[in-house]
């Protein structure tokens, strides 16, 4: 879906380090290599699968709604269960949960690569999301627990750099595999990576747990999954049926009921997956609202972009993947500078300017929707997007962590990551309103693309306004 990783990833590793057992160090180089490979499964998947959707849609005869479910099925289980996955890792063992998650992800990847039909592919993607919900938080917690304070920062920086690299090469690799081999190879390449990740972690990492962790909030996870599934189905179906359709109305009602039930469960649970008290902080609530708007803009727009590149502009899959490189490269270059600026200027300025630059980038892409030349029609907008996201991500993490007590930083980071994924899930579910049927001409594709970029620009601008109105002007956050 997106080449931009959710914010606060580093904080999850740091939070695990506070519960680090005395004998958890293990063999550091192997732990870093294993967690990097494990995390790369999810990063490559999220950035490569979106690129091959136009090809999968053509090969399997999928309509727009079915193509959406290839992405939303994965994001649904990942978004709903990632907090419970982190709690399971802390309670039952980070190495154990990591290995189980990678194993589930790899088996599901094999099923994706061999899927004979679209329903089989969507089902395998749903299981893949479950594996990612276990391996993603467990890999960060495993990394944080394996190092002491002095070495942890270097290890997490190495992990972040490697993860950024895998996110960057994901679209290029996915495009090349789809063009030179088959779209199925995008899933099958996960198998050797998964085997290597499991071997490295089993060899190098010692088991670690948190003494303070409670049991996973299974009731909350179940209700969240049902509620999100109902909303996702309703939003996806509404493009074809309309919001007045009885099935759509019932789906939205079930989703709303699930949300109410989820809040009630979290309010009364002994170990809630979503500590509601965190939202008493204005900055924390504002940062999560900003995250929802900004990552919804990004997730929805980047779901539509490959269709424009390949169906309207006739880019080959490899060229379409390479066209997205400025996003990852620009974010990696700008984020360290933004972190230093936030420490001097405070986060509010950057969390206003960054999203507004993102909005400007989307507006530029909308204005050049009929121009297929890369350097004049696409690169200026993509570069502006990368600059804006780079300015926003680092101070966003600082605000989320600075708004809560140190003991709750891990929970706050997990909530913010989940919000970013839910934003992408809901945005992709709504993409059917702008994507035309598979047989539509390039003009119809271009019109839908322009509408998506305009909507994304509005969403990102709202995120900038949210940052200006809710984030405290406090340099201590950074």
On whether the CB atoms of residues 459 and 293 are closer than 8 A, the answer is yes
Check residues 315 and 149 and name the one with the higher pLDDT: 315
State the DSSP code for 207. Answer: P
3-state SS of 10-41 is HHHHHHHHHCCCCCCCCCHHHHHHHHHHHHHH
Kindly report which listed range (46-60, 64-78, 160-174, 340-354) carries the lowest average pLDDT score.
160-174
One DSSP character per residue, 314-383 reads: ---HHHHHHHTHHHHHHHHHHHHHHHHHHHHH-HHHHHHHHHHHHHHHHHHHHHTTT---IIIIIHHHHH
State the DSSP code for 430. Answer: T
- What per-residue confidence (pLDDT) applies to 15? 61
State the DSSP code for 61. Answer: T
- State what percent of residues in the chain have pLDDT above 90: 53
* 104 vs 240: CA distance, rounded Å: 34
Domain 1-212: which topology? Growth Hormone; Chain: A; (1.20.1250)
Spell out the domain ranges in the chain.
Answer: 1-212, 218-268, 277-478
- What per-residue confidence (pLDDT) applies to 181? 92
- What per-residue confidence (pLDDT) applies to 11? 61
pLDDT at 23 over 60: no
- What per-residue confidence (pLDDT) applies to 12? 63
pLDDT at 195 over 90: yes
Fold agreement between 1-212 and 277-478: yes
Average pLDDT, the chain: 87
Domain 277-478: which topology? Growth Hormone; Chain: A; (1.20.1250)
- What per-residue confidence (pLDDT) applies to 475? 42
Kindly report which listed range (287-291, 328-332, 405-409, 425-429) carries the lowest average pLDDT score.
405-409
* 163 vs 157: CA distance, rounded Å: 10
Check residues 25 and 286 and name the one with the higher pLDDT: 286
Average pLDDT over residues 399-421: 84
On whether the CB atoms of residues 91 and 214 are closer than 8 A, the answer is yes
Average pLDDT over residues 68-97: 91
- What per-residue confidence (pLDDT) applies to 477? 42
| 336 token code pair | 């360290």
The angle that helices 218-241 and 246-268 make with each other, rounded to 10 degrees, is 160
pLDDT at 13 over 70: no
Residue 63 CB contacts under 8 Å (≥ 6 apart), including other chains: 57, 437, 438
Max avg pLDDT among 93-97, 389-393, 459-463? 459-463
- What per-residue confidence (pLDDT) applies to 438? 75
Kindly report which listed range (289-303, 320-334, 404-418) carries the lowest average pLDDT score.
404-418
Burial class of 437 by CB neighbour count within 10 A (0 to 12, 13 to 18, 19+): exposed
Average pLDDT over residues 444-448: 92
Check residues 67 and 428 and name the one with the higher pLDDT: 428
pLDDT at 204 over 50: yes
pLDDT in tens, 249-281: 999 999 999 999 999 999 998 888 888 999 999
Of the pLDDT bands very low, low, confident and very high (cuts 50, 70, 90), residue 66 is confident
Of the pLDDT bands very low, low, confident and very high (cuts 50, 70, 90), residue 441 is confident
* 137 vs 88: CA distance, rounded Å: 10
- What per-residue confidence (pLDDT) applies to 342? 84
* 96 vs 128: CA distance, rounded Å: 18
- State what percent of residues in the chain have pLDDT above 70: 92
Average pLDDT over residues 168-180: 87
Q: Which has the closest alpha carbon to 218: 125, 92, 127?
A: 92
Average pLDDT over residues 102-120: 95
* 143 vs 16: CA distance, rounded Å: 8
* 382 vs 366: CA distance, rounded Å: 11
pLDDT at 33 over 50: yes
- What per-residue confidence (pLDDT) applies to 310? 92
Average pLDDT over residues 118-123: 94
| 283 token code pair | 């900055």
- What per-residue confidence (pLDDT) applies to 410? 75
């Amino acid at each position: 879906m997106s080449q931009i990783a959710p914010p606060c990833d580093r904080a999850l590793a740091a939070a695990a380090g506070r519960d680090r057992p005395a004998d958890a160090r293990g063999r550091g180089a192997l732990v870093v290599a294993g967690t990097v490979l494990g995390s790369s499964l999810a990063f490559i998947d999220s950035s490569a699968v979106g690129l091959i959707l136009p090809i999968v849609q053509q090969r399997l005869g999928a309509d727009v709604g079915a193509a959406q479910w290839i992405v939303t099925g994965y994001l649904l289980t990942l978004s709903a269960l990632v907090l419970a996955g982190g709690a399971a890792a802390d309670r039952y063992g980070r190495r154990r949960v990591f290995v189980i998650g990678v194993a589930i992800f790899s088996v599901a990847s094999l099923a994706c690569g061999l899927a004979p039909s679209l329903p089989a592919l969507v089902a395998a993607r749903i299981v893949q999301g479950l594996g990612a919900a276990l391996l993603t938080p467990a890999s960060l917690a495993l990394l944080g627990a394996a190092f002491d304070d002095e070495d942890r920062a270097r290890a997490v920086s190495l992990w972040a750099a490697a993860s950024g690299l895998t996110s960057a090469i994901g679209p290029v690799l996915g495009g090349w595999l789809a063009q030179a081999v088959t779209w199925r190879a995008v899933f099958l390449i996960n198998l050797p990576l998964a085997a290597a990740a499991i071997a490295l972690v089993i060899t190098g990492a010692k088991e670690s747990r948190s003494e303070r962790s409670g049991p996973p909030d299974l009731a909350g996870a179940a209700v969240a999954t049902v509620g999100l599934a109902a909303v996702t189905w309703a939003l996806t179906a509404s493009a074809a049926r309309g919001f007045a359709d009885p099935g759509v109305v019932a789906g939205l009602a079930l989703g709303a009921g699930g949300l109410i039930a989820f809040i009630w469960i979290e309010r009364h649970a002994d170990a809630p997956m979503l500590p509601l008290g965190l939202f008493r902080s204005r900055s924390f609530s504002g940062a999560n609202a900003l995250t929802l708007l900004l990552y919804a803009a990004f997730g929805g727009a980047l779901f539509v972009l490959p269709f424009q590149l390949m169906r309207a502009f006739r880019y080959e899959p490899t060229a379409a993947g390479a066209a997205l490189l400025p996003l990852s490269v620009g974010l990696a270059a700008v984020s360290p500078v933004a972190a230093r600026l936030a420490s001097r200027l405070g986060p509010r300025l950057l969390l206003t300017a960054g999203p507004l630059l993102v909005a400007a980038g989307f507006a530029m892409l909308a204005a050049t929707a009929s121009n297929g030349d890369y350097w004049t029609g696409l690169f200026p907008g993509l570069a502006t997007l990368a600059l804006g996201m780079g300015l926003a991500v680092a101070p966003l993490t600082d605000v989320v962590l600075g708004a809560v007590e140190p003991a709750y930083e891990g929970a706050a980071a997990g909530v913010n990551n989940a919000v970013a994924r839910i934003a992408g899930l809901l945005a992709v579910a709504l993409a059917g309103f702008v994507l035309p049927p598979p047989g539509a001409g390039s003009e119809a594709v271009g019109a839908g693309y322009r509408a998506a970029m305009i909507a994304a620009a509005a969403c990102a601008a709202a995120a900038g306004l949210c940052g200006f109105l809710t984030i405290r002007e406090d340099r201590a956050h950074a």
